A and B are shown apart, each in its own frame.
Chain A
């Protein structure tokens, strides 16, 4: 259990393992350069917040780390080893799970099959006959355990509220993640009570130290509560890297504004 009155967790020391390292990653879509050389470090057991304007490249970066896109240049290092993800399955095999902002649930499938999508329990070998009973039971226990309430694990996802759907999507990734969890706006379109649920879910997972987490969100209050460290993305680069306990919303805003000024100067006097 996380203790909310406690100080934010101190960043893991440099000697502690590094879960994920991104070095000079670039990505362009046709003429549009989205990532201009991303350097980022995620320490073991850390929660890293990623903020930035729309179009700053956050979602593209997450989609590269989750194997959905591949980068044009640079390296991604997971657990000390350089990796090249060619598919979502590749990334998963390396213990990287993702929750996307475009809601990955399948409306026509029941909750328990959504929870196990991509990790179905099957029997009878190559027939891949579904172990529905086993999955229903595990899904019920698991959702009870993390206090996610749905009408029934057999209800179709379509029948859930937006918040319940998001909770199931996050629960699926939390369950499956073994090393790294990527959350792309996990609190979008959620009510206060449901946001609370997801925040607790992520904090519990972080407190277990088992998994390192990257969270994208626009809400600074949520990020300051959830994260150990915040990275700001501007124009396809990481411009600010601050531990949460050494900064405040005001400091961060000042840093962002001055960084914007610097970028504007560069644009207006390219030779300088």
Chain B
């Protein structure tokens, strides 16, 4: 029981294991083969990448609704730069810098102009979506020819950057570890918890709360853009019609399933990663056992409410154990 109280990740882990077992029984090896599992990882990758950064913002009692659009925007920036003759590596680095810039603008507008981040990032989402439509002439494009479509041997770096079918989820796992260390082992992590947990108290104690918030937005945009570039190579096409809000809603869902509160001060990056895996397995498994996509949405909703209700009950139990 104590384990449950202090390890919020246990709820989504148990649900994930349960789903995995259920789909294995129902669909057998069609579910457990690497094609099916990599497609589950394919669903989970983008959600996880965005969710990991989003946890930081939810812990700061803020939100970033533009992270999904940043995820889609980054490979376009890389593509445009490369078309202008910028070398590939440099194009990737500049695209990532642009993502950081987007995060910085989100953060600065939020803290300096006192615009709620919900509104700032909603606006940013539309701006980035519009920019992609304008500069792509609304036509699809092929991401930078890192991919093996030309028949030549696939270089290690292009494998890493998205060609290998597990590369995206490995990136997300690595980011999860990095951000977990940042959050639980460094002064910056303490500052995030302090800023989100008691804004006035943190400011009075000398925590630079505005700077911490801006950095939160920058980190979230950076990781979304990074995995966005990997994701584009993986799928081999850039579609200007993709809308980032679709990703954001799943990402926030993954955070909540993972045990992050929307009230600030509390969250787990590992939980968000597991939440993303859970959604990926759910989507892949339901498809395999022949359930329609429409049912998938119902199931995601049920799981989100179930996980949240369970966490709320744990909080009540904790409160009660303190009272006695």
Binding site for B on A (CB under 8 A): 66, 68, 87-89, 92, 98, 100, 102-109, 113, 117-118, 120, 122, 127-130, 132, 158-159, 172
| A105 touching B198 in the complex, CB below 8 Å, given contacts A118-B205, A159-B322 | yes
List the A side residues contacting B196 at CB < 8 Å.
Answer: 108
B161-198 contact mask (Cβ, 8 Å, vs A): 1 or 0: 00000000000000000000000011111100110111
| A128 touching B201 in the complex, CB below 8 Å, given contacts A88-B206, A118-B207 | no
Q: How far is the CB of B55 from chain A (nearest CB, A)?
A: 14
B68 at interface by CB-CB < 8 Å: no
Size of interface on B: residues with Cβ below 8 Å to A: 23
Q: How far is the CB of A181 from chain B (nearest CB, A)?
A: 14
List the B side residues contacting A117 at CB < 8 Å.
Answer: 190, 194, 202, 205-207
Q: How far is the CB of B268 from chain A (nearest CB, A)?
A: 12
Q: How far is the CB of A105 from chain B (nearest CB, A)?
A: 6
* Least CB separation from B202: chain A residue: A106
* Least CB separation from B195: chain A residue: A106
| A88 touching B203 in the complex, CB below 8 Å, given contacts A120-B187, A128-B186, A130-B187 | yes
| CB-based contact B188/A128 at 8 Å | yes
B12 at interface by CB-CB < 8 Å: no
Report how far A159 CA is from B319 CA in the complex, Å.
8
Report how far A87 CA is from B204 CA in the complex, Å.
9
Report how far A234 CA is from B302 CA in the complex, Å.
60
B200 at interface by CB-CB < 8 Å: yes
Report how far A104 CA is from B206 CA in the complex, Å.
10
* Least CB separation from B261: chain A residue: A108
| A108 touching B201 in the complex, CB below 8 Å, given contacts A127-B186, A128-B188 | no
B259 at interface by CB-CB < 8 Å: no
| CB-based contact B204/A68 at 8 Å | yes
List the B side residues contacting A132 at CB < 8 Å.
Answer: 185
Choose one: A107, A129, A158; the contact of B185 (CB below 8 Å): A129
| CB-based contact A105/B187 at 8 Å | no
Most buried by B among A100, A102, A128: A128
| CB-based contact B186/A118 at 8 Å | no
| CB-based contact B197/A104 at 8 Å | no
Report how far A105 CA is from B188 CA in the complex, Å.
17
| CB-based contact B206/A105 at 8 Å | no
| CB-based contact B190/A104 at 8 Å | no
Choose one: A87, A107, A118, A159; the contact of B198 (CB below 8 Å): A107
List the A side residues contacting B266 at CB < 8 Å.
Answer: 108
Report how far A159 CA is from B318 CA in the complex, Å.
9
| CB-based contact B205/A104 at 8 Å | yes
Q: How far is the CB of B323 from chain A (nearest CB, A)?
A: 10
List the A side residues contacting B207 at CB < 8 Å.
Answer: 117-118
Report how far A67 CA is from B201 CA in the complex, Å.
14
* Least CB separation from B198: chain A residue: A106
B244 at interface by CB-CB < 8 Å: no
| CB-based contact A106/B265 at 8 Å | yes
Q: How far is the CB of B197 from chain A (nearest CB, A)?
A: 4
Assuming A106-B193, A128-B188, what are 17 further A-B pairs, CB within 8 angstroms?
A88-B203, A88-B205, A88-B206, A98-B204, A100-B204, A106-B202, A108-B193, A108-B265, A108-B266, A117-B202, A117-B207, A120-B187, A122-B186, A122-B187, A127-B186, A130-B185, A130-B186
List the B side residues contacting A87 at CB < 8 Å.
Answer: 206
